[in-house]
Amino acid sequence: MRLFSVRLIVSLIVGVMLVSLCSSGYEVWVGKRSLRRDMQRRSEVLAESLAGSVERDIEKHAFQTLQKTVQHFANRENLMGMAVYDPQGHIIAITDDLASKMTAAPPVVLETLKENSEADAFQRLANQPVHICVLPLYSPSQFLGALAVVHDAGYIRDQSMRIWRETFLSGLVQVILIALITLLIVRWSIEGPIARTAHWMRALRTGRMPSSRMASPGEELFPPLAREVATMAESLNTARTAAEREARLRAEGQSQWTAERLAADLQARLGASRLFVVSNREPYMHMRRGKSIEVRVPPSGLVTALEPVLCACKGTWLAHGSGTADRESVDKYNRLAVPPDDPRYTLRRVWLTKEEEEGYYYGFANEGIWPLCHIAHTRPIFRAEDWEQYQAVNRKFAEALLEEMKDTEKPVVLVQDYHFALLPRMIKQKRPDARVAIFWHIPWPNPEAFGICPWQRELVDGLLGADLAGFHIQSHCNNFLQTADRVMESRIDWEHHTVQRLGHKTTVHPFPISVEIADLALSPSDPSAYDNRSALLKNLDVEALFLGVGVDRLDYTKGILERFLAVERFLEKYPRYQGQFTFVQIGAPSRSHLKRYHDLEAEIEAEAGRINWRFQKDKWKAIVLLNRQHSHQEIEPYYKGADLCLVTSLHDGMNLVAKEFVATRNDENGVLILSIFTGAARELPDALQVNPYDIDQTAEAIRTALEMDPEERQSRMQNMRRAIREHNIYQWAGNLIAELCELRLDNHEKAEGKTRLGSSAV
């Protein structure tokens, strides 16, 4: 850094001096030219003013008077003298001071006498710079000679030297000031941040930097470099944390799934093959914000689970491009490399028209299949035109996927959710060598309920095109097998949970999805649950002692209205909690232009308003409804500060909110109240499990949670965190893909065997 400072200062000094010299040279040249022009004008004016009287004296032959006239003007400023010449170049009259220096007529005088025209010149006279202005003299009848006016031009040189001297001194002062200012800038603005960054990186390298202080200290100086360093530091910190966790688990004789383990495991399994993921929602969205474009990551456990796998095997993710600036961010093949900060895999965007999205997504998928599979007393709506769009969009995704897989041998395909029930069959028909799995993220109802769908055979047939069909829990698998047995000509192996149809076998197994859990101990610098709660309530402008939280999309399957009724019943039965307990419902608007969802939003807002009006008291509110999209970073403080979390789904495949709440509570505090109609209830028996339709039971669970003994509360949370730690999102992805890779593709392998046999016979 010292050498850098010296180089910088020397460079600045040389640069400033060169600029000063160039500027001074130009200034001297301009000043010198101006002074010369001024001298020429004064000489001309003086010569013209004397010419008349000189001409009269010559005509009268009054040479003594002429000498006196010439001598009279000899004492003017910078005037060296004057001389009068006859047409032959002989001196008629000359000032005393000039007589000894100009004994002969200068060339400029001879030129005037010869050409009979005015002339002037700068020259040296007796080693002294002078300016000579010569004016021809006439009478009405003849040429009389010439008048020469001689000025001392030495002061022009003196003036130029003065400018050079002043410029040099000014430049020297500037150089000194610039050097001092540069030293200060380098010390305060460069050396300081670099030193802090070096200290910060040393702390990271030695493991002394807490995770809460991961932000780079160099943001104000080199933002792009600081971001890259911060990314590198975060990767280093993550790797160190993973290594420490892995070492601890080895010491304890345990084995936990991590992103690194998942990536390594799948890379070994896939080998030269590649992984292709198909989902409706994309992992990265490009949204226009004013004149700029920002990248958003939609909140999704699926992204958390599958991104390490795709990064490890340089896979491809196909999804609907729904961002407002998505088209501007892809290449001519509708692809882009992601993640933006460290590109490791390919995102292929598929474009849908408004009509396709309306029919396939909002229509058939969310007004038909969604209520059909969620037994929540909302009538499913099936329209023939929606079914046509659903088929068309599945074909469009199949074509895009086949195009992406054309150069890949034995690709591995993961299809996500109820939006693509037809896709597995479409893919296997064209690429029998592909290993195809579909994971159904919502419940699968019993055969009688599913029989409502007019196209149940087509949907089940599409799903049976997959080699592996995954559901959250075994009962959903059983329902699917029973549905396939009822509506399709197939053979069910109930012992191994497989379906044989058209020479193809589909394995049906449960894979309970989960979340990532940061296994970090609570540090002394982390705010306590009380501090989090106080800050949240202050921001909400609500005064309360206890806080409950619910986090959901505004969907009729989530039991939000039943939840509000339970809060009302709790405050009614236990009035001592009025003014003390506040419930915050974070509700993300969902599919709002569908009438059922629009009406539900209005119902929820009206119910919250009614309950608040009933129990109105000063600055306290019974229910705070936050009806907007929230990022995970915004939700996390509510998880950490809440005394309890209410998950009262009327029917849910898994419900990751319950697991997110538990994963966030590294203080091992808080109580989870969980609906028995969620898949999570089977994995989290230590939650207070309720029937959400039983309002009194849920109200009683709220009281139990608030009055639970601290030791019991901690024990329950520890057990739930242990369950999620052992069965996290990485284990879900690892088990699903591992089982898919281990399945035998009977038809394809037999075909390959026949081909090899035929070739050897030839």
**Is the pLDDT at 724 greater than 70, yes or no?**
yes
Instruction: For residues 309 and 264, give the distance between their C-alpha atoms in angstroms, rounded to a whole number.
Output: 9
In this prediction, residue 299 carries a pLDDT of: 66
Task: With cut-offs at 50, 70 and 90, classify the pLDDT of residue 229.
Answer: low
Instruction: For residues 69 and 46, give the distance between their C-alpha atoms in angstroms, rounded to a whole number.
Output: 13
Listed range (206-210, 409-413, 523-527) with the worst mean pLDDT: 206-210
Instruction: For residues 65 and 237, give the distance between their C-alpha atoms in angstroms, rounded to a whole number.
Output: 106
In this prediction, residue 1 carries a pLDDT of: 54
Instruction: For residues 441 and 41, give the distance between their C-alpha atoms in angstroms, rounded to a whole number.
Output: 98
Contact, 405 vs 380, CB < 8 A?
no
Same fold, 23-158 and 259-491+501-510: no
Please give the residue that has the higher pLDDT: either 100 or 700.
700
Share of the chain above pLDDT 90, in %: 49
491 beta partners = 500
Q: Is the C-alpha dihedral spanning 697, 702, 708, 711 positive or negative?
A: positive
Q: Which of 710, 709, 668, 698 is nearest to 583 (CA)?
A: 698
In this prediction, residue 207 carries a pLDDT of: 57
133 beta partners = 120, 149
In this prediction, residue 236 carries a pLDDT of: 66
What are the backbone dihedrals phi and psi of residue 51, each rounded to the nearest 5 degrees, phi first?
A: -60, -40
**Is the pLDDT at 189 greater than 70, yes or no?**
no
How confident is the model over 736-750, as a mean pLDDT? 77
Listed range (289-298, 373-382, 521-530, 732-741) with the worst mean pLDDT: 521-530
In this prediction, residue 505 carries a pLDDT of: 96
Highest mean pLDDT among 22-26, 91-95, 220-224, 454-458: 454-458
Q: Where are the domains of the chain?
A: 23-158, 216-251, 259-491+501-510, 529-727
The CATH architecture annotation of domain 529-727 reads 3-Layer(aba) Sandwich (3.40)
- Here the tokens at position 460 are 């089940």
In this prediction, residue 519 carries a pLDDT of: 65
Contact, 321 vs 282, CB < 8 A?
yes
**Is the pLDDT at 250 greater than 70, yes or no?**
no
Amino acid at 706: L
In this prediction, residue 221 carries a pLDDT of: 52
How confident is the model over 23-33, as a mean pLDDT? 79
Q: What is the pLDDT of residues 298-347, one digit of tens each?
A: 766 677 778 877 887 789 999 999 999 999 999 999 999 999 888 989 99
Q: Among all chains, which residue has been given the structure tokens 């016979």?
A: 761
In this prediction, residue 57 carries a pLDDT of: 83
Amino acid at 270: L
Question: Where in 357-478 does DSSP place strands (E)?
Answer: 412-416, 435-439, 468-471
In this prediction, residue 660 carries a pLDDT of: 93
Please give the residue that has the higher pLDDT: either 374 or 254.
374
How confident is the model over 273-285, as a mean pLDDT? 93
In this prediction, residue 755 carries a pLDDT of: 36
Residues 6+ apart with CB under 8 A from 145: 58, 84, 85, 86, 87, 92, 113, 136, 137
- Here the tokens at position 483 are 């549905």
Contact, 558 vs 649, CB < 8 A?
yes
Secondary structure (H, E, C), 308-319: HHHHHHCCEEEE
Which CATH number, 3.40.50.150, 3.40.50.2000, 3.20.20.70, 1.20.1740.10, labels domain 259-491+501-510? 3.40.50.2000
Residues 6+ apart with CB under 8 A from 9: 179, 182, 183
How confident is the model over 90-119, as a mean pLDDT? 85
Q: Does CATH number 3.40.630.10 belong to domain 23-158?
A: no
Secondary structure (H, E, C), 456-517: HHHHHHHHCCCCEEEECCHHHHHHHHHHHHHHCCCEEECCCCEEEECCEEEEEEECCCCCCC
Residue 304: burial class (beta carbons within 10 Å; 0-12, 13-18, 19+) = buried
In this prediction, residue 447 carries a pLDDT of: 96
How confident is the model over 59-68, as a mean pLDDT? 83
Task: With cut-offs at 50, 70 and 90, classify the pLDDT of residue 585.
Answer: very high
Instruction: For residues 547 and 642, give the distance between their C-alpha atoms in angstroms, rounded to a whole number.
Output: 5
How confident is the model over 512-521, as a mean pLDDT? 80
How confident is the model over 604-618, as a mean pLDDT? 94
**Is the pLDDT at 734 greater than 70, yes or no?**
yes
What are the backbone dihedrals phi and psi of residue 647, each rounded to the nearest 5 degrees, phi first?
A: -120, 100
Residues 6+ apart with CB under 8 A from 580: 544, 545, 546, 620
SS3 293: strand
